Structure 1
Amino acid sequence: MLLPLALLPVLLAALPAAFTGGGTRRWFGGRGDSQRAGAQAAKDDAAAAFYELDSAQRDLRISMETITAVDSSPAARKAAEDFRVLGQRIDEVSHHYITAVDSHDLDRDDLEASAASRARADLVRAKDDLRRVKADLDRFAQGLGPLLDKAETQLARLAPAVERARQSLLAATRALDAVRASGLRADDLAARLAALSPELTKLNEGAGRHGVPETLHRADDVLRKAEAVRSEAEQLPARAAEIDRRLVSLRTRAQAITTRSAGVEPILSELRRRYSAACWQDLQPVPDEAARTVARAEQKLKEAQAARDEQRWPDATALLSTVRALLNDTDEAVSAAGDRLRRLDEVSFDRSKEVERTRFAIRDAQRLAMAGRSTPDPRHARPLDDAVARLERAEAGLEGRHPDWWHFLTETEAVRRTVARVVSEIREERGAGA
């Protein structure tokens, strides 16, 4: 127990005299003199034990306050409770010591030997109690080592973390000012920076009010958010320039696709004239769909330009991504018509290249399936045999006046995909077994 302030000066003032044997005191010879000396020695020892315990408790209280300010873990809460219980024991033994001191006036001229003997016994008992509790307090302090190290580490991080957060906010503010000076508003960044102002106020209020863990967390959060604002502010001029470049590029691309889509109709006419309906029917909607898609892309480009003019950067970026996706789809559809005609012309002129390419893939897979085996695994042999039969059916389907060349091409592609899958499975299985 920490003694009342009014009482401590009295006790502490008496300590020097106690340690030196007192001031002017009358002594009488004989047995009484010896008993009085023994009692005084016991009083001095008890006073020293009391002083040591009080000092240790005060020092340990500082350590406990450090831990409880930083750590709210179960271990820290248990330590705080154990310290409270120890405090109650300290209160008890300190009270017994003070009672023993107050009960015996060793400076009385008429102090009897029996009274001195009782005083000595009481004071020795008080001293022993004080030292036992002091030993328990020392053991408790030793056990606090890991918790105290952790708490002191966090406290050591506190001031640098808060200062880094403040400096990050300052850097973000300067970067934002520079961007605005160049004519860019950066309203969203300004709003995000303004939202950090209350957090800065709490940081300035300190850990004494908000606690060390919360303050450390707040400092890290402010640092991260301020760094993001600063980085985006510094990148904003380049981002604006990139959006301007993409606007020009996508307008040019939309115009080019519009020009190319005008050539799809003549290609379809050629396909209709030379090949069966199955070879070109799926391409019939391409010209109209291309026109509609390009029109949508051009509308989105206008919206993107408006967003850029209003400096709504995320909206502008999202709209440009939509435009790009629309033009990619249209570009593929427009290219598909010309690619279809080219491939049909090649295979109808000489189908042997396509057949040989597919047969080579099948033979290569068959050799791999037989490598190191006398008979192939049915899981591999069956799809490869089916691939051979499928290729033969595709070739046979070309007989007649109006062969479906497109079906032939899609079938050979499908056969090669099946073969490639079998090859992949064989290699994976053998790799796993290696």
Structure 2
Amino acid sequence: MTATPAQPYSPSLPRAHRPRRRLPRTPGPVRDAFTLMGLPLLAALALPAAFAGGGTRRWFGGRAESQRAEAQAAKDAAAAAFYELDTAQRDLRISIETITAVDASPAARRAVADFDALGRRIDEASHQYINAVDAHDLDRDDLEASAASRARSELTAAKEELGRVKQELDRFTEGLGPLLGKAETQLARLAPAVERARQALLAASNALDSVRATGLKADGLAARLAALSPELTKLNQGAGQHGVPQTLERAERVTRGAEAVRVEAERLPERAAEIDHRLVSLRTRAQALTTRSEQVEPILSELRRRFTVACWQDLQRVPDVAAENVRQAETKLAEAQSARDEQRWADATALLSTVRALLNTTDEAVSAAGDRLHRLNTVQKDPQQEIERTRFAIRDAQRLAMAGRNTPDPRHARPLDDAVSRLERAIATLDGRHPDYWHFLTETEAVRRAVSRVVSEIREERGAGH
């Protein structure tokens, strides 16, 4: 009998389908004879004379044995193909589970559906293989050549089908590359992200402890840190329960929140000192503005005495507005001090910003009165300086408009001509007995602004042309 080739072990095959090596069956009379002679049975089987008796089959040569060997080789090849496909499917299932743990996109859902369909194809090919193995016992002593040939044919067909399905699986696996790479990247980020969140929470807690040791309460920061505790609990429960994307997002959110608490806690002593400094500074400024606002009334008296109503009527309420603003600023300063004492840092900061805005407004109003008197004195003494300043601006714009041209662009010439006329009209207002110097000053300022706009337009157009 031709020796049966060894079949590779496959953990996916039932025990009943694993190959068995059998010894040839020795005819009863021969076995009994050697037993009576006291010879061991295995030694007796080695004697060629034992195979010459009646009732034994031929062990070597013959068409049946050749067909048996070919069938056994086909069986071994099919088993190897089955094992290879089973291993690849297991590896692919791990990849699919990795993707589904991370990705809920339509592409990921399609991949899962395609994997399920491919799994059905694998099951069909596997059943074809198992049925072919179960249908033929290649170890039978009386195996006929036709049965062996049929077994070889069915096992070869099963192997080829397993190979085709394996090719489909390989193509599918290759197409999963981008999705799998993205999923593995997120999984690689998971553990470090969770650890950063934990370390950030610990650092924030330590910073709060240090701040409290200096006598600062930091109750608001402590409340914000406590609000992150449920998020830490979910992080500790793991991505298996809450999902990888959600866990990554939660870890980043916890990290940002804890970092903000830590930074504010570390800066809190500096912030307290800054608020103390601003309280002193703004209180001093309010006192100085109170003194300055008292000087507005004498300035208004001089304006009323020397200039027309139009030159000072918009300043009439400056003393009252300044006094009211200073009073409100002092009230807000007291509230800010109280908030500082109670360590309500955000309230103290907001109140100090309000005080600063009130004092800025008061400063501008008080300065406007003095600035008005100074400008009116200057133009009353020598209006020609203001006139020449404005004419120079117009002439400079006219030269720019004519640069490289024989005639100016009407879009530029028209507003420049209007500026000349407007300046002449403003100059004419100075000829009366009681000139409105403030109107004159506002007109010349308006002319210069109009001329400046024309200059900007010319330069922009030429810049775009280049």
Alignment TM-score, normalising by the size of structure 2 = 0.87
Contact 1:199–1:222, Cα closer than 8 Å, also in 2: yes
**Partner of residue 88, structure 2:** 56
* Equivalent of 2:252 in 220, 240, 245: 220
Match of 2:41 in 1: none
Partner of 2:429: 397
Provide the C-alpha distance between the structure 1 equivalents of 2:176 and 2:147, rounded to a whole number of angstroms: 43
Counterparts of 1:58 and 1:406 in 2: how far apart (Å)?
Answer: 91
Aligned to 1:11: 14
**Secondary structure, aligned partner of 1:111:** coil
- Distance in 2, Cα, partners of 1:139 & 1:396: 92
Tell me the distance in 1 between the aligned counterparts of 2:292 and 2:141.
126
Task: Give, in whole Å, the separation in 2 of the partners of 1:296 and 1:99.
Answer: 96
Q: 2:269 is matched with which residue?
A: 237
Mapped pair 1:138 → 2:170: yes
Give yes or no for the alignment of 1:164 onto 2:182: no
Conserved? CA contact 1:25–1:107, under 8 Å: no
**Any unmatched runs of 5+ in structure 2?**
1-9, 26-57
1:12-411 equivalences in 2 (<5 Å): 15=18, 17=19, 22-24=21-23, 28=59, 29-411=61-443
The residue that corresponds to 2:5 in the other structure is: none
Tell me the CA shift for residue 13 of structure 1: 8.2
**The 10-residue stretch of structure 1 (106-115 or 287-296) with the greater mean CA deviation from structure 2:** 106-115
SS of the equivalent of 1:402 reads coil
Please list every run of 5 or more consecutive structure 1 residues that lacks an aligned counterpart in the other structure: 1-6
Alpha carbons 2:283, 2:330 under 8 Å: kept: yes
CA pair 221-329 structure 1, distance change in 2 beyond 3 A: same
Q: Deviations over 1:153-189 (max 9, x none)?
A: 2211111111111111111111111111111111221
Q: Distance in 1 between matches of 2:13 and 2:464?
A: 86
Aligned to 2:36: none
Identity of aligned residues (%): 77
CA offset digits 1:348-380 (Å, max 9, x no partner):
111111111111111111111111111111111
Cα distance in 2 for residues equivalent to 1:277 and 1:207: 78
- Structure 1 residue 76, shift from structure 2 partner: 2.0
Question: 2:448 corresponds to which residue?
Answer: 416
User: Per the alignment, in what secondary structure is the counterpart of residue 431 of structure 2?
Assistant: coil
Is the CA contact 2:12–2:83 (under 8 Å) kept in the aligned structure 1?
no
- Cα distance change of structure 1 residues 115 and 241 upon mapping to structure 2, 3 Å threshold: same
AA in 2 matched with 1:353: Q
Sort the Cα spacing of 1:23 and 1:135 in 2 relative to 1 into closer, same or farther, 3 A.
farther
TM-score (structure 1 length as normaliser): 0.93
C-alpha distance in 2, partners of 1:85/1:9? Answer: 21
CA contact (8 A) 1:100 1:126 kept: yes
The aligned amino acid for 1:67 is I
AA paired with 2:264? E
Larger Rg: 2
Match for residue 3 of structure 1?
none
Moved more, 24-33 or 70-79: 24-33
* Cα distance in 2 for residues equivalent to 1:379 and 1:334: 42
In the aligned structure 2, how far is the partner of 1:251 from the partner of 1:325? 13
- Paired residue type of 2:375: R
Give 2:228's aligned amino acid. L
Q: Is the 8 A contact 2:12 2:86 kept in 1?
A: no
User: What are the superposed Cα offsets for residues 304-350 of structure 1, whole Å, 9 maximum, x if unpaired?
Assistant: 11222222212211111111111111111111111111111111111
| C-alpha RMSD of the superposition | 1.8
**Offset, 1:224:** 1.3
2:197–2:254 Cα contact (<8 Å) kept: yes
Question: Is the CA contact 1:398–1:404 (under 8 Å) kept in the aligned structure 2?
Answer: yes
Give the Å deviation of 1:242: 0.9
C-alpha distance in 1, partners of 2:426/2:170?
Answer: 92
Matched residue count: 424
